[in-house]
Amino acid sequence: MNDKTISVLDLVAAIGVDNLKFQRLDQCLTKSKSVKGGTELSFETSEDIMDVTPPFGQAKRFGIVLWCDSAVWDGAVTKLKEA
pLDDT by 10-residue block (mean), the chain, 83 residues: 83 94 93 96 90 75 91 95 93
Q: Is residue 14 part of a domain?
A: no
Domain span at 38: 22-82
Q: Is residue 9 part of a domain?
A: no
Q: Looking at residue 1, what is its pLDDT?
A: 55
Buried b (16+ CB within 10 A) or exposed e, 32-64: eeeeeeeeeeebeeeeeeeeeeeeeeeeeeeee
Domain count, the chain: 1
Q: Is residue 78 part of a domain?
A: yes
Cα separation, 25 vs 42, in Å, equals 9
Cα separation, 34 vs 13, in Å, equals 35
Q: Is residue 10 part of a domain?
A: no
Q: Is residue 11 part of a domain?
A: no
Q: Is residue 32 part of a domain?
A: yes
Q: Looking at residue 53, what is its pLDDT?
A: 74
